[in-house]
Structure 1
Amino acid sequence: MRPSFWKVLRQSPLLSLMSCLLLFVSLPVSAAPRSVEKLEVGSFNLQVFGESKVNKPHVIDPVIQILARYDIVFIQEIRDDKGHAIYKLLDKLRAYT
């Protein structure tokens, strides 16, 4: 059985960094709105982020408010074997913005 993509990334910090950089570099420049004067980029260590944190409003609401400030955010320490927490986070972020 092949390891999941997320497990491979967790085991190799260098591969994780390279994947993020590749994703960032591959973003099409033409997709950015022309009227934007600056691009806000951030990095956020969510410290063992998984199902339990995403389901606690007093934890996730401030996280959503912070993430909404940025155009691009690199999130660290996602630890979710099922892979559902990050999608719940994205759904909550979309609903907020």
Structure 2
Amino acid sequence: KDFFTILINHVHNLIAQINQSFENLAESKIDHLMISSSNGLNIIMINLNLPRYNLKDLICTSENLSSDKLIWLVGELKNDLSKYLNLTKEH
């Protein structure tokens, strides 16, 4: 068995909840939104705000990282992605 479909479906449902919540909160100044399941699954959606590249949100899922570490990691990914896109824009 290559994929754990029960977990994939669970993640999909949680991402749909995050997406709906984020759309409902789109007008506010919220940088990220996180959902944690009872079995330790953490999903975070962070606003990238990169309309020039048609990138709106970044979603990351982890079964192993704490919510604090996941927030830090996603922030680092956002910063690195922004730096990379700004460098490629200049060239």
Q: Calculate the TM-score normalised by the size of structure 1.
A: 0.34
Greater relative contact order, per chain length (Cα 8 Å cut-off, separation 6+):
1
Q: Calculate the TM-score normalised by the size of structure 2.
A: 0.35
Higher strand share: 2
